[in-house]
Amino acid sequence: MGKAKIDAAIASVLENGDKAFVPYIMAGDGGIENLKEQILFLEESGATVVELGIPFSDPVADGPVIQEAGLRALANGTTLAGVLDSLEEWKESRTIPIVLMTYFNLIFAYGIEKFAERCKEVGVDGLIIPDVPPEEEEMAAPTFAKHEIALIRLAAPTSPQSRLEQIAKRTEGFLYAVTVKGTTGARTRYEDGLPEYLQELQTLSAAPVLAGFGVSTPEQVKELGQYCDGVIVGSKIVELLAAGKRDEIKEIIQAAKANETVSNL
C-alpha cells in the first residue's frame, strides 16, 4: 500500500517497455455514487495510477474544464470526507493506486494527522498538494511519511535550477513535471526546450518523471513519452468522461503502450 504501491505499478509498466499513464478525474463529477465505476473503468482501460481531484472553491492550479467539474461536484454535495468514505467502501475491489490531488486548506481543516490516518485506512497511496511550496511542506510531510503516503512534488519550467534540484530530490512516487506555464488545460503546442527540460528532470530525480498540464491527444502522449517515463492527462479526460466518450479515453490511455501506433507523428 501507499508509496510502495505507486512505485511497483510504475516500475511494472516501465519494465514492459510502456509508459506510465495517469488520468485525472474530479471526485463527485457525475455523482459520488459513480466514483467506483469511473475508477474501475480507467483501471480496466490500462491506466497505471488514478489521480483523483477533490473539489475546492478556489482551485488556483486548475483550468476552466476542471474548475467547472469541481463546481458540478460541489453542487452534488461532494466533500473530502465523503470521497474518503466512498474509497473505503470498495478498496478491496481495486488494485490501481490512488493519488488525491487536493488543496492544503482542505487538509488543514480536516486535521493533518487525522487526514493522513484516514488516507491510509481507505487506500489512498499518494498526495499532490499544488499550493504547498517546498519551504512550507514540513508541517505535513513527516506525517504523510509516517503513514507511508507518497507526497508527489510538482516541478515547473519556470523554477530556478536550485529549486528543481530540491523538488526532484524530495519527490516520492513520481515527479510531476508541469509542461506549460499557467493552469491546467489542453494545449496545441508546448514550450520551446521541453525535451531538454524533461530529460534534465530525469537526471535530477531518482523517481520516475511524468509530464502533465496541457496533454490532450494520443499524439501528445506519444510525443511526450519519448522524453520521460509517462504522462498525466486531466482536462481532456474530465471533458470526455462528462460527455460519455469513453472510447476516446481508451484511445488516449492506450497511446502510452509501446506497441500502439498513432498517426501524424
**Strand residue runs (E) in 37-120:** 50-53, 98-101
Residue 65 near residue 239 (C-beta atoms within 8 A): yes
Determine the Cα angle at 238 with ends 129 and 233, to 5°. Answer: 60
Say how many C-beta atoms besides its own lie within 10 A of residue 264's C-beta: 7
Q: Label residue 150 exposed, middle or buried (CB < 10 Å: 0-12, 13-18, 19+).
A: buried
The CA distance from 51 to 184, in Å, is: 14
Query: Can you read off the three cell numbers belonging to residue 195?
Result: 525535451
83 and 32 Cβ atoms separated by less than 8 Å: yes
- Greatest Cα-to-Cα distance within the chain, rounded to the nearest angstrom: 49
Name the grid cell of 232.
Answer: 498525466
- Residue 67 makes CB contacts below 8 A (sequence gap 6+) with 59
Q: Are 149 and 120 in contact (CB under 8 A)?
A: yes
265: number of Cβ within 10 Å: 9
**What is the C-alpha to C-alpha distance for residues 154 and 148, in angstroms, rounded to an integer?**
19
Active site residues: 51, 62
